[in-house]
Structure 1
Amino acid sequence: MSSVAVTTLSLLVACVLTKTSCQVPTRYCLPNGDVVPDVDALNASYKCAELNPRDYILPRIDPGQVGDTTEIRLVPGRTHRRITTGVLPPLFQVPEFLTPEECAYLIDLAKRHGVAPATMTGKNGTIIKKTGGRTRTGYTSFIRADSDPVLYNIQQRISMLTEMPFDLLEESESFQFGMYPTGGHYHSHYDSSDGQPEDLEKKPCCHQIHLPHTPNRCVLCRYITVLMYLNDVVKGGETAFPLADQLGQSLLEEHIDLSAYCQQSSVVVRPEKGKAIMWYNNIRDPETGWIGPVDRYALHGGCDVIEGQKWISNVWISAPQHNRKYDNSVYAVRWT
């Protein structure tokens, strides 16, 4: 590899993964199009230069084909594998994303913080998500990444995995922890708000306004979900994507009821301690390069835990709409 390519690649790593080097308020370092696989017109000509904040488009990893495996470096001295599990939506698995020690620590952290019964509306009027009127059974807790050094380290690793600028992770919601006992499940739903684009654009993203987050006030703009399994489940507890890679398939009742139809889903991911899965909840708007409408193929849910317990942690990476990309986030320390 030439010295120029090495320098450019180093800039890419610094800009995407490091807050201090490139994401100070008036400076963003963006690579040129020679070495970036997902090159778009808005990004193609920029080099490390003085630019307005967020003069870029949202990163989006090309999934390739199901089964494709890419080696990635997320921590010193180790190589992880990012495995394509679905194309519609882009869906990836990363085995051993967390170490066994990290998994044990996170479960203990959630227990110490306290988990409460999960509801469809969440606390303080969190926006309702569509699940066909069915139930969710489990326990949840929310913990800020900047409140714990282990969480903060994992947050940085997620930035590297997703190639998302770190400031967008800082402006996203807290880590969600979930515990599903035997019989626990979460029927199929979308993590982002579903609806007509023209209707969604009229409302701000929920991470940019204060509670209560209700459907008439805001829309969920969770561009990426990263789900981490914290333990091995004795039986059941899979994450199902009933519509994944089913081009043209209409939504049916069986796609919602995962208690009865889990194994009929087109993609079913088995929980394994330390494994992470990531997927895109929204399409990237082809004109603005920012968050677009929900990807209908991103419908997903948690199948029944048949034996044992399931512990997970969710990270939702929110991305604003193009016309509100400079608005403040209520979750970022610098805005509170």
Structure 2
Amino acid sequence: MEEALEDLMEQEEYDGSDKPQSSLKAPFRSTRMHIQRSSVCSRAYFVVVMVFFHVYILNVIGLLLYVHYNNGPGDLVSEDGAPSASLSDSGTPLPHPDPASRELHVGEYSQSFSLPRIEGIRVGHVQQVSLLPDRTHVLRTMSLKPLLFEIPGFLSEEECRVVVQLAQLKGLMESQTTAPSQGQVESNQPLLSLSTEEVFSLLDLNQDGLLQNKEIVSHSRSQDGTWLNPDNLRQILTGLEACPTGILTLEDFRRVYDVSQRPGQQQSRNLRSRFKQRNKHTWLYQGPGSHHVLQTLRNRLISLTRLPSTLVELSEPLQVIRYENGDFSNAHHDSSSSQSETTCTHTRLAGNKSALTEVSCRYLTMLFYLSAVQEGGESTFPVADNRTYEEQALVQDGVDLTDTQETCARGNIRIKPTAGTALLWYNHLSDGRGWMGELDEYSLHGDCPVRRGVKWMANSWVNVDPDHQQQARYQRLVAQRHRSKSGMEEHYQPLSHSDLHQDL
């Protein structure tokens, strides 16, 4: 320290002379200039760092916005306009997000939404599924054509008893359709006697003497039959499409219409028109305010199928059926083929277009056995896992395989009712893009006659329109209708399937 002080004092004394002082200023300035350049570099480095930091923040914000708006609707919108809730492992719905935070856009919906399907793997394959917090269920593959599963113990004995009691309390109605007696031809004739010219005039809406496609399609069939049924209209449309001009004159129409009226033109008049059954049934609402067992069954179905809750909630109520001694249902399809001249019953309100007839559009069926049967009453799938499906092959040696009263024992798969067991099968194939495709013809099924005892069962259907945009429009229409009805109410009750046609 002393040596440093002495050096400093010597330097100050040396600076006192004129000449040495001037000669030593240059190094001192050089030192100061060095300090200034360092400061400039520090500021430039700070600016660069801040620029990169802001760019990073902007990128993070952009990524969050991208994830937020491109995460996809995932589920269809619920009645209040929000995405439907997902489900926990226990089947309990998770809270809905804020209704105002998300709104369905049809274009976005069509690109991102898909319908889950359970994998069948192979016949006899067993999977473990967790539907309740304290136990697992066995999911056994019964068939791949159609994709059919059996789940023993899906319902407890107490749940079966409650559903039966609720059905009895509600009251059951007859659902009887008798087959024509021997020698009697099944009536499929028009209710009114009209000439060909009169039919042409009724179809010719603008009375220009020519029939166009839109004029034919605009005539819908009523629920109880009318003077022109869908088979006739389909035949007329086929004739119109074969006409080079794309229109039908009276002479053209006379030729086409006469052909459509001949018996036996349709190969089998469609299996749905031959559907015969005898039983009693009722419908049970499963939404908010219903018995907790009914809500539990619906939540369990959602958990098993992994379908959006809103899709299930807007489907049909639970159908409960009672089969007594001799009661049956012939083999039939629960759903229908998608055709240009048909519209789905559950979404017709959003279609705003004419269609020849309304049909049931049921993506899947879940059947619950609520009781055992002492004898008979099996569920039969006549053509399950056949190599090929041909409707003509259903008649073998003069015997119709769809007639469960006569040929139930010949069904490829027959399942005896056991209380608590559930069956699940898909009525439609996948379209290859994750949506509902063509009707699975192998899903033909029926109920064998009950020989001894009483059979209680229930059906739960999930309604889906093959046109995903139509399904989206329908759900938005329901959501808008509900918002207009609920007003400022804090809690709402979703519209049930049975109320939609009356309320919308």
TM-score by length of 1: 0.78
One-letter amino acid matched to 1:172: S
> Cα gap change, 1:133/1:53 in structure 2, threshold over 3 Å: closer, same or farther?
closer
Report the structure number with the largest CA radius of gyration.
2
What do the CA deviations read for 1:39-75 (whole angstroms, capped 9, x no partner)? xxxxxxxxxxxx7599321111110111111011111
Q: Distance in 1 between the 2:380 and 2:140 partners?
A: 17
One-letter amino acid matched to 1:256: T
Q: Which residue of 2 aligns with 1:45?
A: none
Q: Distance in 1 between the 2:300 and 2:348 partners?
A: 27
Q: Which residue of 2 aligns with 1:312?
A: 457
Give yes or no for contact 2:90–2:133 (8 Å, CA) kept in 1.
no
Q: Distance in 1 between the 2:98 and 2:343 partners?
A: 25
Q: Which moved more, 1:146-155 or 1:106-115?
A: 146-155
Q: Distance in 1 between the 2:450 and 2:272 partners?
A: 18
What do the CA deviations read for 1:117-159 (whole angstroms, capped 9, x no partner)? 0146xxx949999446352100010111012221011100011
Q: Distance in 1 between the 2:114 and 2:442 partners?
A: 22
1:209 corresponds to which of 339, 343, 348:
348
Give yes or no for contact 1:237–1:271 (8 Å, CA) kept in 2.
yes
One-letter amino acid matched to 1:188: A
Deviation for aligned residue 1:259: 1.1
Deviation for aligned residue 1:19: 4.8
Q: Which moved more, 1:297-306 or 1:141-150?
A: 141-150
Equivalent residue runs for 1:97-246 within 5 Å: 97-119=154-176, 125=223, 130-131=271-272, 133=274, 135-146=276-287, 147-194=290-337, 197=338, 199-200=339-340, 202-209=341-348, 216-246=356-386
What do the CA deviations read for 1:215-272 (whole angstroms, capped 9, x no partner)? 8342211000000000010111111111111021423133211111112111111100
> Cα gap change, 1:205/1:184 in structure 2, threshold over 3 Å: closer, same or farther?
same
Equivalent residue runs for 1:278-297 within 5 Å: 278-287=424-433, 289-297=434-442
Give yes or no for contact 2:90–2:132 (8 Å, CA) kept in 1.
no
Q: Which residue of 1 aligns with 2:138?
A: 81
> Cα gap change, 1:308/1:162 in structure 2, threshold over 3 Å: closer, same or farther?
same
- Indicate the RMSD between aligned Cα atoms, in angstroms: 3.2
Q: Which residue of 2 aligns with 1:257?
A: 403
Deviation for aligned residue 1:22: 6.4
Unaligned stretches of 5+ residues in structure 1: 1-10, 29-50
What do the CA deviations read for 1:272-320 (whole angstroms, capped 9, x no partner)? 0000000000112114x22222100000011111111110010001112
> Cα gap change, 1:119/1:78 in structure 2, threshold over 3 Å: closer, same or farther?
same
What do the CA deviations read for 1:201-225 (whole angstroms, capped 9, x no partner)? x543211236xxxx83422110000
Give yes or no for contact 1:14–1:21 (8 Å, CA) kept in 2.
no
Q: State, as a whole percentage, how many aligned pairs show the same letter.
A: 31
> Cα gap change, 1:15/1:108 in structure 2, threshold over 3 Å: closer, same or farther?
closer
> Cα gap change, 1:17/1:168 in structure 2, threshold over 3 Å: closer, same or farther?
farther
One-letter amino acid matched to 2:171: G
Give yes or no for contact 2:330–2:403 (8 Å, CA) kept in 1.
yes
Q: Which moved more, 1:243-252 or 1:324-333?
A: 324-333
One-letter amino acid matched to 2:280: Y
Q: Which residue of 1 aligns with 2:122?
A: 65
Q: Distance in 2 between the 1:103 and 1:125 partners?
A: 34
One-letter amino acid matched to 1:206: T
Q: Which residue of 2 aligns with 1:44?
A: none
Q: Which residue of 2 aligns with 1:247?
A: 387
> Cα gap change, 1:316/1:16 in structure 2, threshold over 3 Å: closer, same or farther?
farther
> Cα gap change, 1:27/1:61 in structure 2, threshold over 3 Å: closer, same or farther?
farther
Q: Distance in 2 between the 1:208 and 1:246 partners?
A: 33
What do the CA deviations read for 1:179-216 (whole angstroms, capped 9, x no partner)? 0101010000000113xx4x25x543211236xxxx83
TM-score by length of 2: 0.53
Q: How many residues align?
A: 294
